[in-house]
Amino acid sequence: MIPIFNKPLECCLKVAGFWPYDFNMLGPVAITSMLVTTLPFQCWNAFALTENLVVLMDSLSDIFTEVLIYIKIFILWNHRREIRDLLEEIGKDWSIKSIPTEWENIADYCRIICNIDVIVYASASILYYPDLLMSYFGKPVNERHMLFQSYYPFDYRRSPIYEVINIVYFFQGILMIIADSVSKTLFISMIFHVSSQIYELRNNLEQYSRHSNDGYENKNFKRLKLVVQQHLKILSLVRRIDHIYSYVALFQIVFSSIIICVTGFVIITAMESANIMLLVKFMTFIIAMLAQVSYFCFAGQYLLNKGESIVEMINSSFWYNSQCKDVKVLIFVLTNAQKPLTVSGANIFNLSAETFTMIVKTSASYLSVLRAMYTQ
């Protein structure tokens, strides 16, 4: 158990095959099963709904969400070895006997955010079931709804085929939630781990600064060496996280803009038709999607702010009491620290609060165009 990871994240990592201390192939195979048994038939159903734009948008929002989840999990599987190595390193860093209070606070914040993500995602998922149950118990067989809107070339609405398919959908939905949860909460946990290492850098810098005028050059140079090593470790961590999540971030931003636009269109039409069930379902869904994007963007902003704090730490230290050779080393650290700590989307944009604003504005613009086309 790594203290910075909450229990749901650890379970998700084990199921998805990323946990370094437990080899698992069954989970990844089960997750990819939806590519064969469900997604093609959802696309088939969407092609049959081209005349009804509202129902088509409803179907496409699910399809785009699932495609996004698979793209992200495939990218992460491609970096499986790097992720496992990074998790082992995080485990070693957090296996110290006495964890500093600041580290414990960081771990608490991380677990709280991850738990909030679980609650939001679970709420959005649960609201898919009332419509399913109402159609099952209150409508004729040929009007039954599927958990995932799909079409099969046989009579799939009669019992027991209908029940079997939806039970399979239920478990596949859980696996999809696990796959998506890994991509988000693992990223958040890694960023918070970097924050803990920046706190360690601050401690090393304070130790060096406190003894910079003691006259013990060799001992103090060793303390300065710890500062340099810790800063290089932080830079290495950020580079590795960026390498793993660069394309995950790109596809997350692009697809999220499309999904928010499509879902917003369904919400507007549901408000006009007074369809309360559909409205509540997709209001919760769009909140979950906005939360998902905000996790990535604000985690990137948090990392950016923490990187800027390193420069402030060095400038606030008693560097003017140091030896000339020590000052040269501090200038080297300061020069590297002035480069922002960022996670990019394939080097096209950086994850930040500004990126989140851009997504909302872009989605709103496309939604206006889509709405204008629908009313004409």
What average pLDDT does range 114-136 have in this prediction? 82
Distance, C-alpha 119 to centroid of its chain: 15
**pLDDT tens profile 23-56:** 778 888 888 888 888 888 888 888 876 667 777 7
Q: What is the pLDDT of residue 319?
A: 65
**Coil/strand/helix, residue 97:** coil
- Say whether pLDDT at 370 is over 80: no
φ/ψ (deg, to 5) at 344? -105, 165
C-alpha closest to that of 162 among 139, 140, 136, 137: 136
Give the Cα separation of 133 and 309 in Å (integer): 53
Contact in structure between 343 and 246 (CB atoms under 8 Å): yes
Which of the residue ranges 66-70, 227-231, 367-371 would you say has the lowest mean pLDDT?
367-371
Q: Give pLDDT tens digits for 148-164.
A: 888 888 888 888 888 89
Q: Quick one: residue 17, left, alpha or beta (phi over 0 = left, psi -120 to 50 = alpha)?
A: left
**Above 70 in pLDDT, residue 376?**
no
The overall average pLDDT reported for the chain is: 85
Confidence of residue 97 (pLDDT cuts 50, 70, 90): confident
Mean pLDDT of 263-267: 80
In the chain, what percentage of residues exceed pLDDT 70? 94
User: What is the distance between the alpha carbons of residues 11 and 138, in angstroms, rounded to a whole number?
Assistant: 37
Which residue, 165, 162, 183, is CA-closest to 65? Answer: 183
Q: What angle do CA 198, 241, 287 make, to 5 degrees?
A: 95
Angle between helices 101-126 and 7-16 (to 10 degrees): 70
